Amino acid sequence: MTKTLYHVDAFANKLFSGNPAAVVPLTAWLNEAVMQKLAFENNLSETAFICEANNKEYDFEIRWFTPQVEINLCGHATLASAFVVFNYLHFDKPEISFNSQSGILKVTKEDGLIKMNFPSWEPDEFNDPPVNLKDALGGIDIKGIYKNRDLLVQLADEDAVQNCVPDFSLIRNTGYKIIITAPGKSVDFVSRFFAPTAGVDEDPVTGLAHSQLIPFWSKKLDKTNLIALQLSKRGGTIYCEQKGDRVIMAGNCVFYMKGEFEIED
């Protein structure tokens, strides 16, 4: 059985920036164990599998796998999947609807950007953090700790986020995925995202984290439209909007390569 794989840099304006994702279009689902092995083989933070839908409620089903586990929501691989659908799968509608474990995700193409409509997951103050959290983040000073799906740790400023030297072994031992964030110098807020519990020490640009960051900073800054920068080595810009119980995340993608792989039927 021969399948096609696309490799796309998401939240990127130029090649070798943003967050790389693999996208595998399907007409029928592969075995879950096979999809996990393919994600491990790709060794990217996420491999997205999109399968054509056989109903009128949505266009595709989508699933995301890290090298180690399946996850319930992923932003950058959804952005990359939409890029592939819009540009390579002869899709002629102005909006894509993906059915996922986190509900229906709608994606449009507007003003030169791909815009994703995602759930808004506002984090609450968290009073029971791991005892070694500060050590896990290199001894850095912490201004506040919040939690939704992940731990969100507020730091003093952009330099603190940029200069954080995490201990990934200690982060893994906490059992949490961790977002660190602070106000930005030239953007509204900056962040980094650490997920060694999912096989990804530091994710380059993380849409899922922004489902939590956008409502957090929208409330703190009293703004609904924000620009965010993820301060990984590759870096990436996310254009954000808070809309009630949803958030809009928008960005660009850059095509890297298209290939084929063969697996047994």
DSSP string, 227-258: EEEE-SSS-EEEEEEEETTEEEEEE-EEEEEE
Same domain, 67 and 83: yes
Same domain, 223 and 131: yes
Same domain, 195 and 240: yes
Question: Is 95 marked active-site?
Answer: no
Mean pLDDT of 72-92: 96
Same domain, 110 and 142: no
For residue 67, is pLDDT > 70?
Answer: yes
For tokens 């000073």, the residue is 141
Q: State the number of CA atoms in the 13 A half-sphere of 138 facing the CB.
A: 12
Mean pLDDT of 54-63: 94
| DSSP H or E stretch at residue 124 | strand 124-125
Q: Binning pLDDT at 50, 70 and 90, where does residue 54 land? A: confident
Angle, helix 75-88 to helix 207-221, in steps of 10 degrees: 110
Which range marks the domain in which residue 222 is found?
124-244
Same domain, 239 and 129: yes
Whether residue 238 contacts residue 10, with contact meaning beta carbons closer than 8 Å, is answered with no
Q: What CATH number is associated with residue 87? A: 3.10.310.10
**Catalytic option among 32, 41, 46, 61:** 46
- Amino acid 265: pLDDT: 65
* Alpha-carbon torsion, ordered 242, 205, 115, 79, to 10 deg: -140
pTM over 0.75: yes
Same domain, 7 and 109: yes
Same domain, 93 and 144: no
Residues 6+ apart with CB under 8 A from 34: 263
- Amino acid 147: pLDDT: 98
Whether residue 252 contacts residue 259, with contact meaning beta carbons closer than 8 Å, is answered with no
Give percent of the chain with pLDDT exceeding 70.
Answer: 100
Same domain, 133 and 93: no
For residue 28, is pLDDT > 70?
Answer: yes
Domain count for the chain: 2
Whether the CA torsion 102, 230, 158, 186 is positive or negative: it is: negative
Single out the residue of 242, 238, 7 nearest to residue 114, CA to CA. Answer: 238
Same domain, 113 and 158: no
Same domain, 255 and 200: no
Same domain, 170 and 60: no
Single out the residue of 48, 57, 52 nearest to residue 28, CA to CA. Answer: 52
Same domain, 180 and 146: yes
Mean pLDDT of 85-89: 97
- Amino acid 55: pLDDT: 87
Whether residue 60 contacts residue 99, with contact meaning beta carbons closer than 8 Å, is answered with yes
- Amino acid 56: pLDDT: 86
